[in-house]
């Protein structure tokens, strides 16, 4: 019985640790608790459902393969973002040194920074932080992310602003 309790406790600890593994959980919990922010969370199960789609198209098969390696997506957004520039700058400072800038977009109407977190040469998280048009957001995409497939993944997921990644390829 004690062994079962220890095993269960270890499993719960592992699940909690895994849940705290993205930039939003680590740095933006205060935003998640605020009623002025919209919160979106997509589970690994949702991405897994895409793997049941059959296709003869080689490009679609590559996209499905890339999607099958995703383990989650979380997003927080504030659409009436007065002070969006300040939220954006604060968000960039909060991400921590374990994140590396992949790309920035500095446009008269919006600013977006794409960051990645790698471990042993594998991208585990792709983060998009941005503001513009009265909107501030932080998006975290988790899993084994193949940067050579990121442009196809960006098109397939149809996430607003990810279109900037359509020309990014791993060199």
- Mean pLDDT, rounded, for 113-133: 90
Better pLDDT: 147 or 141 = 141
Q: What pLDDT is stored for residue 168 in this prediction?
A: 59
Q: Is the pLDDT of residue 103 over 70?
A: yes
- Measured CA to CA in angstroms, residue 150 lies from 36, 120, 129 at distances of 31, 19, 17
d(CA 86, CA 34): 17
Taking only the tens place, the pLDDT of each residue in 35-73 is 888 888 888 888 888 777 777 888 778 778 888 888 998
Is residue 167 very low, low, confident or very high in pLDDT (cuts 50, 70, 90)?
Answer: low
Q: Which residue has the higher pLDDT, 166 or 92?
A: 92
Which residues, 6 or more positions from 113, have their beta carbon under 8 angstroms from its beta carbon? 92, 101, 103, 104, 105, 128, 129, 130
At 51 the pLDDT is 74
User: What integer pLDDT is reported at residue 160 of this predicted model?
Assistant: 66
More confident residue, 65 or 91: 91
How far is 162 from 103, CA to CA, in rounded Å?
11
**CA atoms of 91 and 77, how far apart (whole Å):** 12
| Structure confidence at residue 84 as a pLDDT band (50, 70, 90) | confident
How large a percentage of the chain has pLDDT more than 70? 78
Token pair of 110 as six digits: 């919006």
Given its phi and psi angles, is residue 25 left (phi above 0), alpha (psi -120 to 50 degrees) or beta? alpha
Q: Examine the pLDDT at 3 and tell me if it is beyond 60.
A: no
Q: Which of 39, 38, 30, 27 is nearest to 125 (CA)?
A: 27
Mean pLDDT of the chain: 77
Q: What b-and-e string marks burial along 102-129, b requiring 16 or more CB atoms within 10 Å of the CB?
A: beeeeeeebbbbbbbbeeeeebbbbbbb
């Amino acid at each position: 019985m004690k062994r079962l309790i220890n095993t269960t406790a270890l499993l719960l600890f592992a699940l909690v640790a895994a849940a705290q593994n993205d930039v939003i959980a680590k740095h933006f919990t205060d935003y998640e608790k605020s009623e002025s922010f919209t919160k979106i969370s997509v589970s690994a199960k949702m991405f897994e459902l895409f793997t049941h789609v059959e296709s003869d198209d080689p490009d679609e098969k590559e996209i499905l393969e890339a999607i099958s390696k995703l383990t989650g997506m979380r997003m927080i957004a504030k659409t009436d973002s007065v002070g969006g520039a300040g939220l954006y700058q604060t968000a960039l400072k909060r991400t921590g040194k374990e994140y590396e800038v992949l790309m920035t977009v500095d446009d008269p109407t919006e600013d977006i920074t794409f960051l990645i977190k790698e471990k042993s040469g594998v991208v585990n998280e792709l983060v998009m932080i941005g503001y513009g048009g009265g909107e501030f957001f932080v998006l975290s995409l988790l899993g084994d992310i193949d940067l050579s497939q990121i442009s196809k993944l960006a098109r397939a997921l149809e996430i607003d602003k990810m279109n900037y990644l359509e020309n990014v390829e791993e060199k």
